[in-house]
Amino acid sequence: MPKLVVKNIRKVFGTFEAVKDVSFQVEEKETLCLLGPSGCGKTTTLRIIAGLEVPTSGEVFVDGVLVNDVPPQKRQIGLVFQDYAIFPHLSVFENIAYGLRVRKMPEAQIERKVHETAALVDVEGILDVPGKKLGLSEMQRVAVGRSITLDPKLLLLDEPLSNIDAKARERMRAELGKLQKEIGIATVYVTHDQLEAMTLADRIAVMRNGLIEQIGTTSEIYDSARTLFVANFIGSPSMNLIDCELVYNEERAILKSEDFTLDITEFAERIRDKSKGKELVLGIRPENVSLDIEKPDPKAIEAEVQLVEPVGAKSIYHLKISGLTVLAKGYPMPEVNVSSKVWTTFNKDKLHLFDKKTEEAIA
């Protein structure tokens, strides 16, 4: 049985529909990320699950129980906010014990439970330290510890890394990922950061304008984007998206842009079945655009290098093809510099095609 089922949730504020018919489920020990830009409805969805907002319509089930009318404190949910909300005047022990004391548990039980939780989140050595003296990583662990000490059925995290600088975020993302695996609680994680989602999630639900555009594993979202929005939102650098027109030359299907042509006859049957018209968008990720000094085959496209960005072991090449800019990502080529003339080819096994009108994937 799934630990969480969200079924046809809607939330309307006045005339504004913040969440529109959202449905998903989270299995035991699974981490699902709600990913999307600001205002897409992900935090509102989380607040509805937590019981902090009442849905206009729809149902929320936690561990098989309908909780629409159950108050937040009785839903058996752990919640971690982006500011962690650690009590600065209380010790780590008392921060973790806070919920247990509210429930008036016996002192011996509190002592045992706090130590068990502290061991799980690796804060046993700082139980006497006051909250105001904790570092960010320690605060994160204490906040999670306080949330799980009551044995919740579900853990909700609302952008817990958003207020942290990039270097600390990278370290804490790794720590949080390890912690989630150790705890093993079904988790919903809200973020606008695709790297966080792709690093931490078992599955990702990409949201836009109150709807889930696509839900799937990291590889499904990255390799098989179902919409133009998902294709453009996921990936760094973003997917190259090129407006094209489909034309037929005898028995060949040709994608024609203002700057180049590409034979896509192998996709012709799928395009006929799914496309609403001849206007398409070609998508290709930068790592699937190859560069050569010499022309590798007659169909290679000539380009000029406008910028080279070293990014660790690889480089990002900004290429000008007539009036079009295309990004390529690959291992550094010392002989290629700004203004170099190169030949580029697209990996046809990695092409994405979208209908321009519906913005839905057709290949």
Query: Per mean pLDDT, which range of 76-90, 165-179, 259-273 is the poorest?
Result: 165-179
Q: Please report the DSSP string for 92-148 in residue order.
A: HHHHHHHHHHHTT--HHHHHHHHHHHHHHTT-GGGTTSBGGG--HHHHHHHHHHHHH
Within this chain, do residues 45 and 143 fall inside the same structural domain, yes or no?
yes
pLDDT (tens digit per residue) in 118-131: 888 888 899 999 98
Q: For the chain, what is the radius of gyration of the CA atoms?
A: 25
> CATH no. for residue 128?
3.40.50.300
Within this chain, do residues 28 and 173 fall inside the same structural domain, yes or no?
yes
Within this chain, do residues 178 and 247 fall inside the same structural domain, yes or no?
no
Residue 260 domain-assigned? yes
pLDDT (tens digit per residue) in 90-125: 999 999 999 888 888 899 999 999 998 888 888 889
Residue 52 domain-assigned? yes
Within this chain, do residues 229 and 244 fall inside the same structural domain, yes or no?
no
Is residue 339's pLDDT more than 80?
yes
Q: In 10 A of CB 138, how many CB atoms? A: 19
Within this chain, do residues 217 and 110 fall inside the same structural domain, yes or no?
yes
- Mean pLDDT over all residues of the chain? 90
Residue 79 domain-assigned? yes
pLDDT value at position 318? 96
Within this chain, do residues 227 and 342 fall inside the same structural domain, yes or no?
no
Per DSSP, 36 falls in state -
pLDDT value at position 164? 64
Q: Into how many domains does the chain fold?
A: 2
Is residue 243's pLDDT more than 90?
yes
Within this chain, do residues 118 and 258 fall inside the same structural domain, yes or no?
no
What range defines the domain where residue 207 resides? Answer: 4-233
Q: For residue 315, what are its two tokens?
A: 């480089």
Q: Please report the DSSP string for 326-349 in residue order.
A: EEEEES--TT--TT-EEEEEE-GG
Within this chain, do residues 213 and 295 fall inside the same structural domain, yes or no?
no
pLDDT value at position 84? 67
Nearest to 346 by CA among 322, 323, 321: 321
Is residue 168's pLDDT more than 70?
no
Helix or strand run (H / E) with residue 179: helix 166-183
Do residues 272 and 312 make contact, with C-beta atoms less than 8 angstroms apart? no
Within this chain, do residues 194 and 297 fall inside the same structural domain, yes or no?
no
pLDDT value at position 165? 65
Residue 193 domain-assigned? yes
Residue 44 domain-assigned? yes
Within this chain, do residues 207 and 254 fall inside the same structural domain, yes or no?
no
Within this chain, do residues 206 and 176 fall inside the same structural domain, yes or no?
yes
Within this chain, do residues 227 and 256 fall inside the same structural domain, yes or no?
no
| Domain endpoint, select from 185, 213, 233 | 233
What whole-number distance in Å separates Cα of residue 128 and Cα of residue 149? 17
Please state the rounded mean pLDDT for residues 292-311.
92
Residue 167 or 127, more confident? 127
Helix (H/G/I), strand (E/B), else coil: 304: strand
Q: By percentage, how much of the chain surpasses pLDDT 70?
A: 97
Band (163; pLDDT cuts 50, 70, 90): low
Residue 363 domain-assigned? no
